[in-house]
Amino acid sequence: MLIRRATDILPSEITPHSVYLNRRQFMLGSAGLLLPVASIAALPASKSGYSTAEKPNSRQDITSYNNYYEFGTGKDEPAIHAGRLKTRPWTVAVGGEAGKPHSFSIEELLKFPLEERIYRLRCVEGWSMVIPWVGFPLASLLKQVDPTSRAKYVAFETALRPGEMPGVARRVLDWPYREGLRIDEAMHPLTILAVGLYGEALPGQNGAPVRLVVPWKYGFKSIKSISRITLLEKQPPTSWNMAAPSEYGFYSNVNPAVDHPRWSQASERRIGEFLKRKTLPFNGYADQVAGLYRGMDLVKNF
């Protein structure tokens, strides 16, 4: 089986198409082997003031311990199977309550000014990582489609490709994977669309070619391989909430004071560490985001 890696996928993004095709032919033609093309994969990005100073997890950790149920429910399965998803050509259709709906090609998305954002990611299962994403604010994209005054929520959908996604044969979730945010959450400067990590294109298992990252919410809100974004007047249905409404709320803000019905959320294990650490309200981003929820009962709106 051919396992596509970031170094194999990326040249088409930053190399003129003809040069890319020649290189492909050369690589495939000479020995029938795909040789990794070193250094070509860099995604130029500026540093961001929103980054944590904590030490990022290794690339190995970040790309080998994943949740991406479309490729299986085992933590190791996304790394094995996600390369089967064809990420070129790729478009993200953005519409709904928008004055100027637009279908963005991945090439258009890569033209947004990219930043490196080192964020904590807290999975609802009780583990966490620190990941150096490369991406841009979701707000930059949404502003381009001119949301109407009725746009109160944003719905996101992962591509659904049964032929390339072995995990969707099982109805673990109601596919396609769907997520949603309130418009002010979507427009918050911490909310990004990520197109890379560790300075290179996003590996398949992390949601290539483009995924959401909302660092103050449980990891499942950070939907991978997005193909559609819809501005809506009403709160959209979301996959995990539909699957188990008593366990996964729409908001899903990281909250050590609200336990999951089957386990405590008070602490977490950082991947690569032995001892647990305390989970922080809003995953440590309370100074920036607590204001979004002023006056709301966060036990009821979990």
Ligand X SMILES: Nc1nc2c(c(=O)[nH]1)N[C@H]1C(S)=C(S)[C@@H](COP(=O)(O)O)O[C@H]1N2
Q: Which residues carry a binding-site annotation?
A: 66, 69-70, 123, 158, 206, 211, 222-224
Residue of closest CB approach to Mo ion? 123
**Binding residues for ligand X, total number by CB under 6 A:** 17
Across the chain, where does the E strand assignment appear?
A: 46-47, 91-96, 102-105, 115-122, 127-137, 153-158, 178-182, 192-197, 200-201, 211-213, 226-232, 267-270, 277-278
With CB cut-offs between 5 and 8 Å by kind, which of Mo ion, ligand X, none does residue 224 bind? ligand X
- Cβ 66 to ligand X shortest distance, Å: 3
- Cβ 272 to ligand X shortest distance, Å: 13
For 287, residues 6+ apart whose C-beta sits below 8 A from its C-beta are none
In the complex with Mo ion, the residue whose CB is nearer, 136 or 285, is 285
Distance CA 210, CA 13 (A): 13
Strand partners, 4: none
- Cβ 115 to ligand X shortest distance, Å: 18
* Chain-centroid distance, C-alpha 78: 14
Strand partners, 278: 267
Q: Kindly identify the residues of this chain, within the stretch 106-165, that bind ligand X according to CB under 6 A.
A: 121, 123, 158
Question: What ranges in 130-211 are assigned the alpha helix state H?
Answer: 138-144, 183-187
Binding residues for Mo-molybdopterin: 66, 69-70, 123, 158, 206, 211, 222-224
**69 forms part of the interface with ligand X (CB under 6 A):** yes
Residues 284 and 121 sit within 8 Å (Cβ to Cβ): no
In the complex with Mo ion, the residue whose CB is nearer, 66 or 230, is 66
Q: Please tell me the number of Cα atoms within 13 Å of 3 on its side-chain side.
A: 10
Residue 17 vs residues 11, 37, 86, 98, 107: alpha-carbon distances, Å: 9, 16, 17, 32, 12
Residue 120 vs residues 17, 55, 82, 84: alpha-carbon distances, Å: 36, 10, 23, 28
In the complex with Mo ion, the residue whose CB is nearer, 12 or 255, is 255
- Cβ 240 to Mo ion shortest distance, Å: 9
Q: Contact residues for Mo ion (CB under 5 A)?
A: 67, 123, 219-220
In the complex with ligand X, the residue whose CB is nearer, 225 or 241, is 225
- Cβ 72 to ligand X shortest distance, Å: 10
Residues 156 and 212 sit within 8 Å (Cβ to Cβ): yes
Binding mask 215-234 for ligand X (x = CB under 6 A): ----xx-xxxx---------
**87 forms part of the interface with ligand X (CB under 6 A):** no
Question: Which segment (41-49, 63-71, 253-261, 282-290) binds ligand X by CB under 6 A?
Answer: 63-71
- Cβ 73 to ligand X shortest distance, Å: 8
In the complex with ligand X, the residue whose CB is nearer, 97 or 121, is 121
Residues 81 and 166 sit within 8 Å (Cβ to Cβ): yes
Residue appearing with tokens 């049964």: 162
Q: Residues interacting with ligand X, by CB under 6 A?
A: 66-70, 121, 123, 158, 177, 206-207, 219-220, 222-225
